[in-house]
Amino acid sequence: MTPPPLRLAAGLLVSALTILPASAAAAAMPNIVFILADDLGYGDVHCYNAQSKIPTPNLDRLATEGMRFTDAHAPDAVCTPTRYGLLTGRYAFRSRLKSGVLPPWGAPLIEEGRLTLPAMLRQRGYAAACIGKWHLGWD
């Protein structure tokens, strides 16, 4: 039985957060790659649905060579609160954002001093990078 579509947020496939061991000594630590894809359903990726009409060879290869997770939940249907939830582990409504998304050049949503997933992993020897859509405000 195929699970219902997993809708992560609204938009395009644009965000990836890559976390790698920061030193050669830490090479035994696994690489961690989060791919946050807006408007991507569970059945859109071929490795989860052989009948998908969308070719996803790179995602299929990642799934074959790494781990696949089949039970995921999004904290919201749009980008800003979803990204906030992923990075902080908190619901966005606990921040100043009570609905919608931030404007393109809004003030940062993640509060000064708030521990984030990349910061926590850096404390454990990882290096982190964010590639793609940010949508959490700018200084």
Per annotation, catalytic residue among 46, 47, 130, 135: 135
Decide if 46 is catalytic.
Answer: no
Q: Are 86 and 36 in contact (CB under 8 A)?
A: yes
CA dihedral defined by 40, 45, 48, 49, rounded to 10 degrees?
100
Q: What is the DSSP letter of 30?
A: P
Residue that the structure tokens 């990075």 belong to: 87
Per annotation, catalytic residue among 46, 73, 79, 130: 79
Decide if 135 is catalytic.
Answer: yes
| Contacts (Cβ under 8 Å, ≥6 apart) of 123 | none
What kind and span of H or E run contains 83? helix 79-88
Return the active site residues. 79, 135
